């Protein structure tokens, strides 16, 4: 049976964006987890997981995100989420993980914030 | 139980304890909830709680062993949506079923927390041969979603 999510990964030297689309549950989270942990194993400095195409996520999906966050933080990288839909936002709030992750409204906002933080000072 | 006489609508099905069937469970809940005009918020709560319960059966009761049955019974009434999940796996020990502390951030351990947060009642019943978990969601009076 085909996984019920699509995963698109775009990577540059310092940044990987992982765009998930579809419902993330115990079955489909396995593939997302695998890809996120593979990026973390290569110590990609910044990983953004965009969830704007994810209408539903259960606790196994949350577990994959927590695992990703902890792996990336272990090498002082940044693990960022963007585009949480209402149901997904609800599970983050219920678990209070919304206070643990860096979350942006959408991926463009996340990228802009990173640009601003990395911009040279002065000029 | 006296209340059972008021439950006029019941759907039963048996599915394999396989994570691919989570989507089936959520679809049935959505369809039945819509038929009986439950609000989207109630249906979504039941979907998430049921999803967590089903996943716990796969992982903890059946230890990911393939092709073990999960018996699903969904009842709706004027006032509530009730889901029963039964399995024949490792006997439940209700006193040991608990969520992790939310401040102890680590992967997993949130399923029971979701069930108890979202449902009006969560009942673990070990009085017969099967493990039985009952989730009850009372009908909301206001129309709102998870936003």
Nearest CA in chain B to A99: B103
| B61, part of any domain | yes
pLDDT higher at B52 or B5: B52
Q: What is the ipTM of this complex?
A: 0.86
The pLDDT of residue B92 is: 82
Average pLDDT over every residue of B112-127: 93
| Helical pair B22-35 and B40-56, crossing angle rounded to 10 deg | 150
The pLDDT of residue B99 is: 77
In chain A, the percentage of residues whose pLDDT exceeds 90 is: 87
| B2, part of any domain | no
Asked if B6 and B48 touch (Cβ cutoff 8 Å), the reply is no
The pLDDT of residue B103 is: 77
Put simply, the answer to whether A97 touches B108 (Cβ < 8 Å) is no
Confidence of residue B144 (pLDDT cuts 50, 70, 90): low
Q: What is the mean pLDDT of chain B?
A: 88
Nearest to A95 among B58, B102, B145 (CB): B102
- Find the domain containing B36 and state its range: 9-138
Residues A51-73: tens digit of each pLDDT: 999 999 999 999 999 999 999 99
Most A CBs within 10 A among B18, B51, B100, hence the mutation to make, goes to B51
| B107, part of any domain | yes
Angle, alpha carbons B63-B65-B70 (nearest 5°)? 90
The pLDDT of residue A123 is: 44
Put simply, the answer to whether A27 touches B102 (Cβ < 8 Å) is no
Residue of A31, A18, A27, A91 whose CA lies nearest to A57: A91
| B146, part of any domain | no
The pLDDT of residue A1 is: 52
Put simply, the answer to whether A87 touches B51 (Cβ < 8 Å) is no
A31 in reach of chain B (CB within 8 A): no
The pTM (predicted TM-score) of the whole model is 0.88
Cα-flanking dihedrals φ and ψ of residue A87, to 5°? -65, -40
Asked if B61 and B90 touch (Cβ cutoff 8 Å), the reply is yes
| B39, part of any domain | yes
The pLDDT of residue B107 is: 80
| B143, part of any domain | no
- Where residue B68 sits, what CATH number does that domain have? 3.30.565.10
Domains of chain A with bracketed CATH: 5-117 (3.30.750.24)
| A7-11, A16-20, B95-99, range with the lowest pLDDT | B95-99
Residues B42-79: tens digit of each pLDDT: 999 999 999 999 999 999 999 999 889 999 999 998 89
Q: How many domains does chain B have?
A: 1
| Residue A3 confidence (pLDDT) above 80 | no
Nearest CA in chain B to A26: B19
């Amino acid at each position: 049976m085909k996984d019920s999510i699509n995963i698109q990964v775009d990577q540059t030297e310092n940044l990987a964006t992982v765009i998930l689309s579809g419902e993330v549950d115990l079955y489909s989270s396995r593939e997302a987890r695998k890809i996120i942990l593979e990026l973390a194993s290569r110590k990609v400095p910044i990983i953004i997981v965009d969830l704007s195409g994810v209408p539903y996520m259960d606790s196994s999906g949350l577990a994959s995100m927590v695992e990703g966050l902890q792996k990336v933080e272990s090498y002082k990288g940044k693990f960022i989420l963007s585009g949480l839909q209402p149901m997904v936002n609800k599970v983050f709030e219920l678990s209070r993980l919304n206070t643990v992750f860096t979350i942006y409204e959408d991926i463009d906002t996340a990228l802009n914030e990173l640009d601003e933080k990395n911009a040279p000072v002065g000029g | 139980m006296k209340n059972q006489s008021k439950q006029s609508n019941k759907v039963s099905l048996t599915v394999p304890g396989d994570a691919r069937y989570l989507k089936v469970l959520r679809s049935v809940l959505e369809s039945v909830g819509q038929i009986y005009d439950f609000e989207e918020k109630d249906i979504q709560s039941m979907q998430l709680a049921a999803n967590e319960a089903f996943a716990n059966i796969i992982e903890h009761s059946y230890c990911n062993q393939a092709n073990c049955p999960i018996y699903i019974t969904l009842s709706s009434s004027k006032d509530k949506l009730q889901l029963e999940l039964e399995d024949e796996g490792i006997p439940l020990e209700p006193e040991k079923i608990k969520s992790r502390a939310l401040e102890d951030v680590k992967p997993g351990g949130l399923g029971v927390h979701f069930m108890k947060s979202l449902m009006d009642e969560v009942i673990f019943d070990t009085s017969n041969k099967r493990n039985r978990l009952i989730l009850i969601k009372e009908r909301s009076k206001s129309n709102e979603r998870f936003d």
